[in-house]
Amino acid sequence: MKLLKLVPQDTNIRFLKLRVPFFILSIVLIVGSWAAVLTQGLNYGVDFAGGQEIRATFTQTAEAPVVELRQVIGDIENIEDPIVQRFGEPNEVSIRVKLPPEAEGNPEFANAMTNAIVTEIQQSYPDIRIDGVDSVSGKVSGEFRNDAALALIAAMVMVALYIWLRFEWQFGVGALFALFHDVSVTLGLFALTQLEFSLQIIAAILAIIGYSLNDTIVVYDRIRENLKKYRKMPLPELLDLSVNETLARTVMTSLTLLVALLPLLFFGPASLFGLVAAITAGLFIGTYSSVYLAAPLLIWMGVTSDSFVPKETEADLQEKKVLGQV
Amino acid sequence: MLDTPLWKKISLWIFTLALAAAAIPSLVASFTSSDEPAPVAADDVTAEAPAFPETDRGEDEEESSLPRINLGLDLAGGSHLLLEANPADVASQRLENMEEAVESALRQAVPEIDFGDTSRSDGQLSFILDSVADIDRARAVLEPIMMGDGLRREWDMSVVDGQRIVLTPTDAGQATALNSAMEGAVEVVRRRIDLLGTREPTIIRQGENRIVVQVPGLQDPVALKRLLGETAELEFKLVDQQALPTNTAAGVANPGSQIYPYAPETAFAGQFEAVKRLGGIRGDSLINARAGVDPQTNENVVNIQFDQQGGQKFAQLSTENVGERFAIILDGEVISAPFFNEPILGGSAQISGAFTPETANELAISLQSGALPVPLTVVEERTVGPDLGAESIRSGLIAMLIGSIAVIALMVATYGRFGVYATIALVFNVLILLGLMAIGNFTLTLPGIAGFVLTVGAAVDANVLINERIREERKRGRKVVTAVENGYKEASRAIYDANVTNFIAGVLLFWFGSGPIRGFAVVLVIGLATSVFTALTLTKMWVSGYLAAKRPKDITI
């Protein structure tokens, strides 16, 4: 039986040759992403902005009358600039309204607004089916924002610390920077596309942090191994060798993940679209960053085989002990 | 060596099959339910309260598809509410209670201690004694009520300008009060929801001053919110007959009286009533409350029943004040102010006041469950209809099926026999993950479905690493057994490191996330553990079994 080989054996692609241009590109991506986040802003959903979101399906009409609906809801007292969007299927809509300042600390107000909208659209469109109502007060959404930022920072710092413990400080810094890149670019993408930014997206970013690091660790692990094996090899060459050696795995893993994710992106529930889209984008960003950021950074931080090896042999012994029990 | 001892093989198989078997009830139900609609869920659905009918649109079928695994509200449909109490409300209520306690303590002192100019401001209670000479006696009388449970000082007392006594709540006292108010509130919320007859509600205290309420299958969150928003503090107070209507309308009360507004849904909405502060009865002596219809007026009413003590007080109040009016006050609003036409001796009474059958029922439930010790407001609400959840499950399962087939095809095409092992491991991985979710009673949410798909995609990573490593070793000319052995050994390090970092991210996700996001984190974290087990341990056992049996000179990988 002939087996499929996605990556030919013995590739020798000089990835690291392009490290400077790609590093510049990465910096540009990071800066650009933050610029986009700061100028465009993220399209916060109700989780982070507070307010209300009503999701509804037209059971008889094939296509939701979005413009008309916007008008109908905008005419309700106290409601300004409702955001009415298609959501998934053409007959599904999401209606988002901001709570006016007077609604803060006055839950009756929020209730009354929901009721007003639901009553109004049910009267105007008898075939509408209310699928869900989310209502988040400004206080709670503010807490969500803080918690989310905290969780992202904590995740990046903790995994970087772990890598520092398991490898060397340079590896920890490299991984941290790669993660910072991944998170920044994902945020930038959301600022540019103005896709709704919700709690689910934070979940996606944390998943990206996990899986991006997965790639980085596999490459780092090979680098550490090769540093011990080829004491004399110049570092750029050694990094290229390591990336090439793990290339088949990188491609294969990214591909299996991708073929699992794509059906979910296209056939999955509409409310998962943002989450899955973010993870799918993160898959590419994360793979790129482990090859073009995490690895070259080691050169610039002066990793040498000498600085690395002595400490490692001891750790290695312990590792073998641990693994011997498995 | 690659040899796995027999005892280890047997225990691995037992372990694997036992966990996988735990998933079978869920799977069996999901297959049978498509043939015969909703055989399982039917029992659950009948347990609905009539006030909150669950729309029956055939969603039960999907709901029963994974009966052993808890479905999150975003999949099963239902309401999630986050209720919050304002600590300031507790503080001001405490101040009010303190004022009453101080008043009665000073009045009951022998001889009575006269005081005046009581004021509650800046979170303090202060009053002036008429006579400086009473200071020490007042201290002695008040000291016992400053201490909570006799252990911790709950109030500080100080004397200003010789005869003004100032009582300041201590932090410890305030914290204790908030805590017990919240504990009480959780109990009351639980009773109210139980009285609705809704199935399997979750009511959890969260943090200092919040309560999470989750009610699966609930279709009318508005009624639920109304019910939970009601403090249900019921009072019966005599109407101040001397009050001038103009004064009452202007908000000016006679000494010893207080002004209350009429509830908005009553016929007197917008008007006010002056009532006497003292000598009333509180609703906490109620033992029963039931909605009903008055046979004479055909009005919706709530019939209430006092306990013995309350009944006696009510009898006394009505006997002494025949021909006078008394106000029925709920949560600081007058519901009605009828006359005592005759003494009411049986300990039961009737509350009327422009009720609909639903609002009468809700009031009865609120009264019966007792008063909320502190008002609660809804700060977060998420409601999902059951249709949406059912659609989500369907499309999620389809996506998962397509994804799994694609992953399996890719693995088998790339690694041949070793890909088959990885595939079987993947199937076990999914089964064990489902089994653990069922055993641990974890909740499967919509993002959790994404977590499943992600696990399917990522779980094979360990086998990819191992198999690529074996390829490399073979390429370097190692013998089959050595290549396989090295493959497992060398790849384990990276697998281990990668999973620990993923685990860290997953735990943070769980810590930070709420509801559906937690469902995602749970699947990711459990999936990490199961995939390491199935990808490393199980495939190693099968591969070594194959090598031992066939002793192949070469392997296709």
Confidence of residue B111 (pLDDT cuts 50, 70, 90): confident
Confidence of residue B37 (pLDDT cuts 50, 70, 90): very low
User: What span, in angstroms and rounded, lies between the C-alpha atoms of A174 and A295?
Assistant: 7
Which of A109-113, B216-220, B362-366 has the largest mean confidence?
A: B362-366
Closest-CA residue to B522 (of B536, B500, B507): B507
Cβ within 8 Å, pair A202-B517: yes
Which segments in chain A show pLDDT lower than 50? 312, 325-326
pLDDT value for A314: 54
Q: What is the 3-state secondary structure (H, E, C) of B368-392?
A: HCCCCCCCEEEEEEEEECHHHHHHH
State yes or no: pLDDT of B61 exceeds 50: no
Q: Which residue has the higher pLDDT, A91 or B51?
A: A91
Q: Report which residue type is found at A8.
A: P
CB environment B292-322: b (16+ within 10 A), e (fewer): eeeeeeeebbbbbbbeeebbebbbebbeebe
With pLDDT > 70 as the criterion, what percentage of chain B qualifies? 91
The Cα of B508 is separated from the nearest Cα of chain A by a number of Å equal to: 6
Q: Does B524 touch chain A (CB under 8 A)?
A: yes
pLDDT value for B41: 35
Which tokens is A76 given?
A: 């309700």
Which tokens is A312 given?
A: 């490692």
Q: Does B250 touch chain A (CB under 8 A)?
A: no
Which of A27-31, B7-11, B426-430 has the largest mean confidence?
A: A27-31
Which tokens is A251 given?
A: 């491609």
DSSP assignment letter at A88:
S
Cβ within 8 Å, pair B468-A252: yes
Q: Does A89 touch chain B (CB under 8 A)?
A: no
Confidence of residue B222 (pLDDT cuts 50, 70, 90): confident
State yes or no: pLDDT of B63 exceeds 50: no
Which tokens is B511 given?
A: 């810590």
Nearest to A158 among B464, B497, B504 (CB): B504
State yes or no: pLDDT of B199 exceeds 80: no
8 Å CB contact between B168 and B122: no
Residues of B in contact with A159 (CB under 8 A): 501, 504-505
User: What span, in angstroms and rounded, lies between the C-alpha atoms of A124 and A127?
Assistant: 9
**Tens-digit pLDDT profile for residues B130-164:** 888 888 888 888 888 887 666 678 888 888 888 88
pLDDT value for A320: 59
8 Å CB contact between B375 and B88: no
**ipTM value > 0.90:** no
Q: Report which residue type is found at A149.
A: A
Which tokens is A241 given?
A: 């060798």
DSSP assignment letter at B132:
G
CA gyration radius, chain B: 34
Residues of B in contact with A155 (CB under 8 A): 504-505, 508-509
Cβ within 8 Å, pair B414-A252: yes
**Tens-digit pLDDT profile for residues A148-168:** 999 999 999 998 899 999 888
8 Å CB contact between B520 and B450: yes
**Tens-digit pLDDT profile for residues B265-306:** 788 888 899 998 877 888 777 888 888 888 888 888 888 888
pLDDT value for B264: 81
pLDDT value for B36: 34
Q: Can you state the angle between helices B539-550 and B6-21, rounded to 10 degrees?
A: 140
What are the distances in angstroms from CA A7 to CA A212, A244, A255, B13, B335? 20, 10, 12, 35, 79
| Residue range B497-509: mean pLDDT, rounded | 89
Q: State whether the Cα torsion A236-A221-A286-A10 is positive or negative.
A: positive
How do strand B147-148 and strand B124-129 relate by DSSP bridges?
A: unpaired
State yes or no: pLDDT of B524 exceeds 80: yes
- Residues 288 to 307 of A: which have CB under 8 A from any B CB? none
Closest-CA residue to B242 (of B325, B318, B328, B313): B325
**Tens-digit pLDDT profile for residues B455-473:** 888 889 999 999 999 999 9
Residues of B in contact with A312 (CB under 8 A): none
With pLDDT > 90 as the criterion, what percentage of chain B qualifies? 19
pLDDT value for B108: 84
Q: Choose the weakest-confidence range: A36-45, A217-226, B375-384, B509-518.
A: B509-518
Cβ within 8 Å, pair B524-A5: no
State yes or no: pLDDT of B102 exceeds 80: yes
| Residue range B186-197: mean pLDDT, rounded | 85
| Residue range B324-353: mean pLDDT, rounded | 86
8 Å CB contact between B210 and B376: no
* Number of other residues whose CB lies within 10 A of the CB of residue B137: 16
